[in-house]
Amino acid sequence: MEVRGIGDETAKQLASLQLYSVFDLLEHFPFRYEDYQVRPIEEIKHDERATVVGTVQSEPTVRYYGKKKNRMSVRVLVGHVLLTAVFFNRAFLKQQLKVGQEVTLTGKWDQHRLTLTVNEVKQGNHTERATVEPIYSVSGKLTSKTLKKYIHVALRQFGEQITDPLPPEIRERYKLVSKREAVFHLHMPSDREALKQARRRMVYEEFLFFQLKMQAFRKVNREQSNGRAVKVNEQKVDQFIAALPFSLTEAQEKVAGEILTDMSSPYRMNRLLQGDVGSGKTVVAAICMFAAVTAGKQAALMVPTEILAEQHAQSLERLFAPSGVRLTLLTGSVKGKRRQAAVTAVKAGDVDVVIGTHALIQDDVAFHDLGLVITDEQHRFGVEQRRALRDKGAYPDVLFMTATPIPRTLAISAFGDMDVSIINQMPAGRKEIETYWAKHDMLTRVLDFMEKELAKGRQAYVICPLIEESEKLDVQNAIDVHSILQQHFEPRFQVGLMHGRLHPSEKDTVMTAFSENKIRILVSTTVVEVGVNVPNATIMVIYDAERFGLAQLHQLRGRVGRGEHQSYCILLADPKSEVGKERMRIMTETNDGFTLSERDLELRGPGDFFGAKQSGLPDFKVADVVHDYRALETARQDAATLVNSKTFWSDPKYRELVTYLQAEGVLDGEKLD
Ligand code: ADP
Ligand code: MG
């Protein structure tokens, strides 16, 4: 199918936007809408974008800066206000701005200077027609306007062929407009209400498709019984648990039970284990890995940093050694012959448990018989990395562990295909961490406070400011703070330094000295953010805490409060914004990761929640998992009902949905019904 007027050159431009077919084009929806509803100039706030209608009062004056840059200004009377309209690099519009000409201007309003910085100008009064103007994301030479033109041509040519994948019963239930109408109105909204209805319809559709995929995946995963039930030696596992230095919390017991049941069932486990920082996920992981080994399988644990890998390797070695479980470490700094030896042993089955970073998923690593894969703090891994590891074995059971409690709305979207276990209880005897917010000018008092704790034998972390996008600056900060603290505390208390640029062996030396209580104060960048476990450390000082998100602050705080002693978290911050202040307040008010994550999501939005673009959340064209969470819940329930209903896979009214699932590779037809 070809859209009239789109030649090879344009097709290339469209391809750069990932638009290859007519339907890609039709579903390339605007990313925002310009509201052309005219308002009296007095009502428009400073810095707001607005559309006004006025009359040109003066000849435009143009100033040139070099060949391409220029600034044109012209006086325009809008209502009773004589404002200056400013145009950047648009001197070619000069001819259109004759004195006495009526113009419609859209731009950003500077109330103090009475200046409108214009990005859209039309001759005459243009506000009666379209009040909502779609704006498209574009790249290269293509402009939003040109793209709009192509889309309109495509709509005229092919719009009638748009069919509705949603069965009538669903459309009626939620009073949704047809797909055709929705697509038309998203591109050419006649007014706000039409746009709203169009959006509502597409949001539901996007969520339903997405959830259908998740629910179908889940069903297929569960029912794909390849006789892979792992035969765990329960007696040995019980002995292992009994030999632990502490008794499990009820929550740990329950969760371990859920996981072991999954492992012994013919279903392939695909489970998310959520537990707040310090709730004791590692030991649960250890039990499950041990169980896999008793069944003659290998187990792998993948973590995001080398420090964490090494720490896990050490503590698990201690737990496993008495039972003769053979363990090896595979990280980026295990190189050359050592790596070769490890890889060979893993392949030959001479190693039972492998702990590592993403070095684990490199191509040269093959397992002898991988039965269980665990990823710790998995929100740091991309979906692809998760999948790569899972694909290393023939249907190994998979457990994802995360200490970043994921708000429900994200959990069911990013992990909708998984079962979820939650450790909702802290080991007994834990004291609540006391959190304080101090301004930077109170640093002396903070240092005095540290002094007292250190004198009691405790240890402290001092986390340095985070400079967005620049690890180099982070490191510089850490170096500076380190030397300041050295001057203050040494030789009474040794101050160590840790950051990502240290050589792995140096990191090792520092971490070991800290965990042996030789280094008393550890100045660090956020590399210690996840997982690190030194129970004697009771103070966490975070410089410039306003630069961190709530989830990250909570992670950092979780480095203390891991032992019997009362622990403290001190946030050094002079936040300027309200959001920044709010974050500090929330931190001092709650220690509960789930409450925090809900608040964080509200403050930051879903994109930022997981940090990088590795969230596992699909890119919805219209929908927004936070704002449209009710629709997401509804769609999820509907999807589950559909996927599990007897008629779904055969009834013609669901054909488009089923076809979609097949195209997504979800369905393995024979295995389902
Ligand atoms: P996280 O869930 O943050 O990964 P860890 O597994 O690192 O937590 O456990 C935190 C600390 O609590 C560790 O020092 C661990 O040995 C200890 N711990 C774990 N479970 C228990 C328990 N049931 N009783 C006492 N201490 C425990
Ligand atoms: Mg952990």
- Residue 248 CA to ligand 1 center (angstroms) comes to 9
pLDDT band of 614, cuts 50, 70, 90: very low
Could you identify the atom of ligand 1 that is nearest to the CA of residue 248?
23
Coil/strand/helix, residue 24: helix
**Which residue's CA lies nearest to atom 5 of ligand 1?**
280
CA distances to 35, 454, 458, 570, 618 from 538, in Å: 54, 9, 6, 11, 40
Please answer whether residues 289 and 397 qualify as being in contact, where contact means their C-beta atoms are separated by less than 8 angstroms: no
Query: CA-to-CA distance for 463 and 560, rounded, in angstroms?
Result: 12
Query: CA-to-CA distance for 4 and 158, rounded, in angstroms?
Result: 11
613 pLDDT above the threshold of 50 = no
Neighbours of 587 (CB within 10 A): 24
382 pLDDT above the threshold of 60 = no
Residues 6+ apart with CB under 8 A from 441: none
Radius of gyration over alpha carbons of the chain, in Å? 30
- Residue 534 CA to ligand 1 center (angstroms) comes to 11
| pLDDT more than 70, % of the chain | 88
381 pLDDT above the threshold of 60 = no
604 pLDDT above the threshold of 60 = yes
**pLDDT tens-digit profile of 300-351?**
999 888 888 988 998 899 999 899 999 999 988 888 899 999 999 999 999 9
The strand pair at 370-375 and 81-88 is best described as unpaired
Q: Tell me the residue type at 420.
A: V
Neighbouring-strand partners of residue 572: 438
**pLDDT tens-digit profile of 244-255?**
999 999 999 999
Torsion of CA 199, 200, 203, 204, to 10 degrees: -150
Instruction: Name the DSSP letter for residue 283.
Output: H
Please answer whether residues 189 and 641 qualify as being in contact, where contact means their C-beta atoms are separated by less than 8 angstroms: no
Coil/strand/helix, residue 478: helix
Least confident of 5-19, 160-174, 204-218, 494-508: 5-19
Closest CA to 89 of 111, 67, 74: 67
49 pLDDT above the threshold of 70 = yes
275 pLDDT above the threshold of 80 = yes
Closest CA to 435 of 586, 549, 580, 277: 586
Query: CA-to-CA distance for 129 and 518, rounded, in angstroms?
Result: 75
Could you identify the atom of ligand 1 that is nearest to the CA of residue 283?
6
Coil/strand/helix, residue 642: helix
145 pLDDT above the threshold of 70 = yes
Neighbouring-strand partners of residue 103: 54, 123
**CA 174 remoteness from chain centre:** 30
| pLDDT more than 90, % of the chain | 40
Query: CA-to-CA distance for 652 and 173, rounded, in angstroms?
Result: 19
Please answer whether residues 527 and 377 qualify as being in contact, where contact means their C-beta atoms are separated by less than 8 angstroms: no
3-state secondary structure 324-393: CCCEEEECCCCCHHHHHHHHHHHHHCCCCEEEECHHHHCCCCCCCCEEEEEECCHHHCCHHHHHHHHCCC
**Which residue's CA lies nearest to atom 15 of ligand 1?**
280
Residues 6+ apart with CB under 8 A from 266: 225, 226, 227, 228, 229
pLDDT of residue 144: 85
Could you identify the atom of ligand 1 that is nearest to the CA of residue 429?
25
Q: Which ligand is nearest to the CA of 285?
A: 1
Element (H, E) at 463: strand 459-463
C-alpha torsion sign, points 652, 657, 660, 662: negative
Residues 6+ apart with CB under 8 A from 646: 673
- Residue 296 CA to ligand 1 center (angstroms) comes to 27
**Greater model confidence, 498 or 409:** 498
- Residue 442 CA to ligand 1 center (angstroms) comes to 33
Query: CA-to-CA distance for 376 and 400, rounded, in angstroms?
Result: 6
Of 253, 274, 281, 283, the residue with max ligand 1 atoms within 8 A of its CB, to mutate for a pocket test, comes to 283
Task: Name all residues whose Cβ lies below 6 A of ligand 1.
Answer: 246, 248-249, 252, 275, 277-283, 403, 427, 533, 535, 562
Could you identify the atom of ligand 1 that is nearest to the CA of residue 282?
6
444 pLDDT above the threshold of 70 = yes
DSSP structure string for 169-182: HHHHHTTPPPHHHH
Of 241, 273, 279, the residue with max ligand 1 atoms within 8 A of its CB, to mutate for a pocket test, comes to 279
672 pLDDT above the threshold of 50 = no
Interior/surface letters 23-49, b for 16+ CB within 10 angstroms, e for the rest:
eebbbbbbeebbebebeebeebeeeee
- Residue 145 CA to ligand 1 center (angstroms) comes to 58
671 pLDDT above the threshold of 70 = no
- Residue 277 CA to ligand 2 center (angstroms) comes to 7
Name the token pair of 477: 């900060």
**pLDDT tens-digit profile of 146-204?**
888 889 988 988 888 888 999 999 999 999 999 999 999 999 988 888 899 999 999 99
Could you identify the atom of ligand 1 that is nearest to the CA of residue 563?
14
Q: Which ligand is nearest to the CA of 316?
A: 1
C-alpha torsion sign, points 404, 409, 414, 418: positive
Please answer whether residues 96 and 60 qualify as being in contact, where contact means their C-beta atoms are separated by less than 8 angstroms: no
Q: Phi then psi for 561, rounded to 5 degrees? A: 75, 25
- Residue 370 CA to ligand 2 center (angstroms) comes to 22
CA distances to 414, 464, 507, 521, 532 from 308, in Å: 25, 19, 11, 19, 6
**Greater model confidence, 96 or 36:** 96
Closest CA to 545 of 535, 555, 532, 533: 555
- Residue 356 CA to ligand 2 center (angstroms) comes to 14
3-state secondary structure 230-241: CCCCHHHHHHHH
What domains sit in the chain, N to C, each tagged with a CATH number? Answer: 37-123 (2.40.50.140), 234-423 (3.40.50.300), 433-590 (3.40.50.300)
Name the token pair of 583: 């974050």
pLDDT band of 129, cuts 50, 70, 90: low
**pLDDT tens-digit profile of 522-554?**
999 887 766 678 999 999 999 999 888 887 888
Of 246, 287, 421, the residue with max ligand 1 atoms within 8 A of its CB, to mutate for a pocket test, comes to 246
Name the token pair of 610: 């997981």
Residues 6+ apart with CB under 8 A from 628: 203, 207
- Residue 427 CA to ligand 1 center (angstroms) comes to 7
Please answer whether residues 598 and 406 qualify as being in contact, where contact means their C-beta atoms are separated by less than 8 angstroms: no
Position of tokens 């503590």?
A: 315
- Residue 281 CA to ligand 2 center (angstroms) comes to 6
Of 247, 274, 277, 282, the residue with max ligand 1 atoms within 8 A of its CB, to mutate for a pocket test, comes to 282
Position of tokens 């859920």?
A: 258
Burial of 570 from C-beta contacts in 10 A (0-12 / 13-18 / 19+): buried
Please answer whether residues 437 and 573 qualify as being in contact, where contact means their C-beta atoms are separated by less than 8 angstroms: yes
Query: CA-to-CA distance for 510 and 522, rounded, in angstroms?
Result: 9
**pLDDT tens-digit profile of 460-486?**
999 998 766 677 777 788 899 999 999
pLDDT of residue 576: 87
Please answer whether residues 571 and 587 qualify as being in contact, where contact means their C-beta atoms are separated by less than 8 angstroms: yes
Q: Tell me the residue type at 346.
A: V
Q: Tell me the residue type at 280.
A: G
Instruction: Name the DSSP letter for residue 437.
Output: E
Query: CA-to-CA distance for 673 and 671, rounded, in angstroms?
Result: 6
pLDDT band of 296, cuts 50, 70, 90: very high
- Residue 300 CA to ligand 1 center (angstroms) comes to 20
**Which residue's CA lies nearest to atom 22 of ligand 1?**
427
Residues 6+ apart with CB under 8 A from 375: 301, 302, 303, 381, 386, 389, 398, 399, 400, 401
Query: What is the rounded average pLDDT for all residues in the chain?
Result: 85
673 pLDDT above the threshold of 50 = no
pLDDT of residue 343: 92
Least confident of 31-40, 282-291, 562-571: 31-40
Coil/strand/helix, residue 130: coil
What is the pTM for the complete model shown?
0.65
Could you identify the atom of ligand 1 that is nearest to the CA of residue 279?
2
